[in-house]
Chain A
Amino acid sequence: MDSTDKTTKLTTRMMPYLAILQHDLRALRASRLVRLWLAATAVLTLILALANWSNFQNAPLIASLLFPYLVFPWFFVVVVLGVSPVSGSRAEALADGILSRPVGRCEYLLATWSARVVLVWGIYLLVLVPAIALVTLAKRTVPKDTVTIYGIVTALFLVGLVLTFLVSLGFLMGTLLRKPLLAVVVLIFLWYPISYILSVFSLEEFSPISLNRALCTQLRQPWRQIEGESKVDINKVNQDAVPSQFSQILSVLSGTKPEPKPAKPEFFETEEFDDFSLLRVTLGYGLPTLIAVILAALSFYLRDL
């Protein structure tokens, strides 16, 4: 079998997935929510950039532009976008229109999930890339900063990963709870106190607020240093943190009293969250994203339409 045959077979195999992805993206693009979000995020980015234009250096200014995506208000929009596709009256319509065709449920779910992730990433990058380019290239009356391309790319990636996680969480809740409004309410109650929930498990570094705080350091991170010098430090941090976080999670889940720890200062009072391990944060959001998608697929597979 030559490569052309293989490509044709793959294209034919992927045809339903791509068709649903394309159809969903088109429907999303036409939705009022998405159009309003695009307009609002562009306006808010502009306001934030202008307000801090002559006050902040590059890194804090870029971090301030990323803040609405990590903390408030855009997480809400992203969650709503994730919740809608397989819940409420839409489920019946899609059952009649799409799932009565030769399409697997997982195939459908993955395609709609991908459409939402592509859309969220698209809007996020569409607004932020030009804004960041403008901030870094413009001559401003602030001291020069050492923001790197690597730092910008990784910071954008991390925030995008958090958004992907939120879409997936919305997806999971929408599939489990079926009622979109209920799913959104549950997610708000889950996401707003996330910093406190994470602190119970000693996972504060994954909270959106601490991530945003650490973005300045990440934006100034040069590629070479990561590869060479700081690798040792990160490994050491990982080695120290993983067992303690694991035992903390176990003790919380089992209800036993955790090992006494030296009294620590209040959350964010230390400089501990001015930096993070890229790998740990990627895994910290990447793995739950994967788990949320798998659970959503499983729940969707088991349910009646």
Chain B
Amino acid sequence: MPTQPDKVEKSAMEPAIRTEHLTKIYGQRLIAVNDMNLQVPQGSVFGLLGPNGAGKTTTLRLLLGLQRPTAGRAEVFGKLCGPNAVSVRAQIGYLPTNPKLPGNLRPIEYLDLLGKLSRLPHQVRKPRISALLRAVGLLTATEQRIHTFSTGMCTRLGLAASLVADPPLLLWDEPTAGLDPTARRFTLDLIRELGKTKTVVVATHILSDIDQICDHLGVMHEGRMIFTGSMQDMKRRLRRDGFSLELEGEIDNIQLLAQEVNNMEGIDAHLGPGQTLLVRIANDRGRSRALAEVLKLIDDNKLSLQAIHSGQNATENAYLQLLQEEEAHGFHR
């Protein structure tokens, strides 16, 4: 059984995951993963963040060897990933989004099957299954067939399934998708607890989850890894002198406003998601005066101001800022 060394030793060790120029193109048409270079440190709780279709799931499937890279390579604990890399998969516990489970089985039968797939002997398998079912709160559901389970129960069984072989690396894809608040809290607490002894990679687009549990982060956008580093690095990137203005009015007027604000000295503006204008004010510019000028322009453009936000959710703003920068410089790719 693979064991996890102390966190102190881990920093000097090789990364749990390393990819070099990892690329996946589907049918010469869709670039799912684009020249990705990534290092996930051992012992970290790594958040793989990105909007839907960013390439998070494809990255996880490439690591598992379920898909072949078009170019580049991926390694897990120094071993090359691929379809027949059984020794790599022995070190990974995978939880897919909304796991598809065999409905005709009962939880114990399912976990026992997975234990056998991991070549666990009977005397190890049985007590572990029992402990896992207790840990995920499914002890009372052992008589039920899986097809009678709710989404939350399926996810909890999926969590237990990923832990059957006690692997040192966990790849969890949207582990809180479709969960009620209690189940979500349970899952986040579990990740925090497991992160003390294992490397955990959580792919998600839910920023608040990442904020609560991760110490390292990778941001993906349209197949590219646009940021990797610690959470502190991510938040440090945030331009504190920024505002997010929620507007109401014609989109053409908002675009015109963005152009006018950009023409002002020491002020930079980008269109955000929905009808939002993200405004950055240079350090040498008075914030109050600059903001007053922008507000005046809003009136001039026949727009109505709905709300002003300023750095309340550091991670979210940093994330949105990253995506904007990436889109603005997309032609560089």
Residues on A lying within 8 angstroms of B by beta carbon are 12-13, 15-16, 18-20, 23, 26-27, 30, 92-93, 95-106, 301-302, 304-305
Total A-B pairs in contact (CB under 8 Å)?
71
Task: Tell me the bound Cα distance from A180 to B265 in angstroms.
Answer: 64
Task: Tell me the bound Cα distance from A99 to B88 in angstroms.
Answer: 12
Contact with A along B156-170 (1 / 0, CB 8 A): 000000000100000
A27 and B104 in contact, given A16-B119, A100-B94 (Cβ under 8 angstroms): yes
- Inter-chain contact A104/B86, CB cutoff 8 Å: yes
- Inter-chain contact B68/A102, CB cutoff 8 Å: no
Which of B64, B87, B113 has the most chain A CB atoms inside 10 A of its CB?
A: B113
Residue of B whose beta carbon sits closest to that of A106: B84
B contact residues around A93 at 8 Å (CB): 100
Select which of B67, B119, B121 is within 8 A of A102 by beta carbon: B119
Task: Tell me the bound Cα distance from A16 to B120 in angstroms.
Answer: 10
- Inter-chain contact B89/A102, CB cutoff 8 Å: yes
A contact residues around B68 at 8 Å (CB): 302, 304
**Within 8 Å of chain A (Cβ to Cβ): is B101?**
yes
**Within 8 Å of chain A (Cβ to Cβ): is B21?**
no
Task: Tell me the bound Cα distance from A100 to B99 in angstroms.
Answer: 12
A contact residues around B87 at 8 Å (CB): 102
Select which of B84, B104, B117 is within 8 A of A19 by beta carbon: B117
Select which of A16, A27, A104 is within 8 A of B84 by beta carbon: A104
A102 and B117 in contact, given A30-B104, A92-B100, A96-B100 (Cβ under 8 angstroms): yes
Residue of B whose beta carbon sits closest to that of A8: B121
Contact with A along B87-106 (1 / 0, CB 8 A): 10110101010011110100
Supplied contacts A16-B117, A16-B118, A102-B90, 12 more A-B pairs, CB within 8 Å: A16-B116, A19-B116, A19-B117, A23-B102, A97-B102, A100-B96, A101-B114, A101-B118, A103-B86, A105-B84, A302-B68, A304-B67
Residue of A whose beta carbon sits closest to that of B110: A97
Report A275 CB to chain B, min CB distance, Å: 46
- Inter-chain contact B117/A103, CB cutoff 8 Å: yes
Residues on B lying within 8 angstroms of A by beta carbon are 61, 64, 66-68, 83-84, 86-87, 89-90, 92, 94, 96, 99-102, 104, 113-114, 116-119, 121, 165
A contact residues around B119 at 8 Å (CB): 12-13, 15-16, 102
Report A245 CB to chain B, min CB distance, Å: 38
Residue of B whose beta carbon sits closest to that of A93: B100
B contact residues around A103 at 8 Å (CB): 86, 89, 117
Task: Tell me the bound Cα distance from A294 to B99 in angstroms.
Answer: 31
Task: Tell me the bound Cα distance from A301 to B94 in angstroms.
Answer: 20
- Inter-chain contact A15/B116, CB cutoff 8 Å: yes
Task: Tell me the bound Cα distance from A288 to B212 in angstroms.
Answer: 58
- Inter-chain contact A301/B83, CB cutoff 8 Å: yes
B contact residues around A20 at 8 Å (CB): 117
Task: Tell me the bound Cα distance from A102 to B93 in angstroms.
Answer: 10
Residue of A whose beta carbon sits closest to that of B96: A96
- Inter-chain contact A100/B100, CB cutoff 8 Å: no
Residue of B whose beta carbon sits closest to that of A12: B119
B contact residues around A104 at 8 Å (CB): 84, 86
B contact residues around A92 at 8 Å (CB): 100
- Inter-chain contact A102/B118, CB cutoff 8 Å: yes
Select which of B89, B101, B102 is within 8 A of A100 by beta carbon: B89
Select which of B66, B113, B121 is within 8 A of A99 by beta carbon: B66
B contact residues around A18 at 8 Å (CB): 116
- Inter-chain contact B113/A19, CB cutoff 8 Å: yes
Task: Tell me the bound Cα distance from A301 to B165 in angstroms.
Answer: 24
Residue of A whose beta carbon sits closest to that of B86: A102
Report B89 CB to chain A, min CB distance, Å: 5
Report B1 CB to chain A, min CB distance, Å: 12
A contact residues around B104 at 8 Å (CB): 26-27, 30
Report B75 CB to chain A, min CB distance, Å: 17
A contact residues around B99 at 8 Å (CB): 96-97
B contact residues around A302 at 8 Å (CB): 68
